[in-house]
Structure 1
Amino acid sequence: MTLSLEWVDEREGGAGEREEKWMDLLEKLLNIAGEKEGITNGVVTLTLTDDEGIRELNRQYRGLDKPTDVLSFSLKEGEEPDIRFEGEYEAEEEGQEGWKDEVKAEDPFAGMLGDVVISVPRAEAQAQEYGHSFERELGFLFVHGFLHLLGYDHDENEQERAMFGKQEEVLKEAGLTR
């Protein structure tokens, strides 16, 4: 297994050529960040959404009824992930056999690092507000979300400096400077 990115576009109209180019950039960032953190295997799922979509997730999971720029849902935090697969695959109908292949019978979530959700309209607005490219803002949000999946946080000043320093290293290596 390698480090890989899967993505979904939940915005009305979905993805197009522009988004395909974003994925190349985000895969590059994922690999740079993964290498720096010693993560060589796993799957990150990225969902592109709008302000209403991320507002609903923010309300549901954080109790904040407002849009935000990025949310992360780690499958590696704590003792056990929220989603798990228990036992072997079982036949759905009487008389059918389940999987004989032990690999297929293993936990299908074992390689999942988690989900990152980004509001594209918020990323566009913030890029304009901060005076840098949309690609840099998207990259910043994605790397930020990825580091949250690995357990980084920014509740305290020292944690924030460390996390934001790591983000800037990755962005700089990818050529996404201010």
Structure 2
Amino acid sequence: MTVNIEYETEKELNIPYEEIINKVINEAADYAELPYEAELNVLLTDNESIHQINLETREMDRPTDVLSFPALEYNEPGDFSIISEDSYDFNPDTGELMLGDIVISVEKVIEQANAYGHSEERELGFLVAHSMLHLFGYDHMEEDERIVMEKKQEEILARCNILRG
């Protein structure tokens, strides 16, 4: 798994964020039984930048905690059988499946960890797990989808030993 992490904010996370991100991403891929080596990009930014991205891509005029940009379209969430090994979904240089991009507001990680009374590690892990499920085609627009997605997020975090509290 190739995870390209860019840190583009002056706001500091005083946790081993690269280790946490890689751990959750790899566990999410194992959990989802991703049958390919894959690559994705993670951008850690500030509220101002994620606000601009949110406005440009979703027409939502506010900062958010995480944005997911899946590179693949699924018939069913987590159904990797739609992927053809000779498709353009693979990086021609590395042979890895291109999953997409994740953008996380470092400021929101800190704010939400404080608001929810848990660690920054937990909040960052949660946002990465949440976003990985989006990259696998899951969504939470409908109540039944939300329930499924929340259960999967918790299972991924438990497998990483990133627990509430």
Which TM-score bucket, shorter chain as reference? 0.7 to 0.9
Matches within 5 A, 1:77-92: 77=73
Q: Identify if the C-alpha distance between structure 1 residues 66 and 109 changes in structure 2 by more than 3 Å, giving closer, same or farther.
A: farther
| Gapped regions of structure 2 (runs ≥ 5) | 76-87
Q: 1:126 aligns with which of 112, 123, 127?
A: 112
Matches within 5 A, 1:135-150: 135-150=121-136
Q: Give the residue type in structure 2 aligned to 1:70.
A: V
Q: TM-score, normalised by structure 2?
A: 0.82
Partner of 1:66: 62
Measured in 2, the distance between the counterparts of 1:74 and 1:43 equals: 12
Is 2:146 the counterpart of 1:160?
Answer: yes
Q: 1:25 aligns with which of 9, 20, 42?
A: 20
CA contact (8 A) 1:123 1:134 kept: yes
CA contact (8 A) 2:72 2:100 kept: yes
Deviation digits for residues 129-173 of structure 1, max 9, x if unmatched?
110000000000011111101110000111001011110011111
Measured in 2, the distance between the counterparts of 1:63 and 1:110 equals: 31
Partner of 2:80: none
Larger relative contact order (CA 8 Å, sep ≥ 6): 2
Measured in 2, the distance between the counterparts of 1:77 and 1:55 equals: 25
Measured in 1, the distance between the counterparts of 2:152 and 2:66 equals: 17
| Gapped regions of structure 1 (runs ≥ 5) | 80-85, 87-103
| Alignment root-mean-square deviation, CA | 2.5
Number of residue pairs aligned between Structure 1 and Structure 2: 150
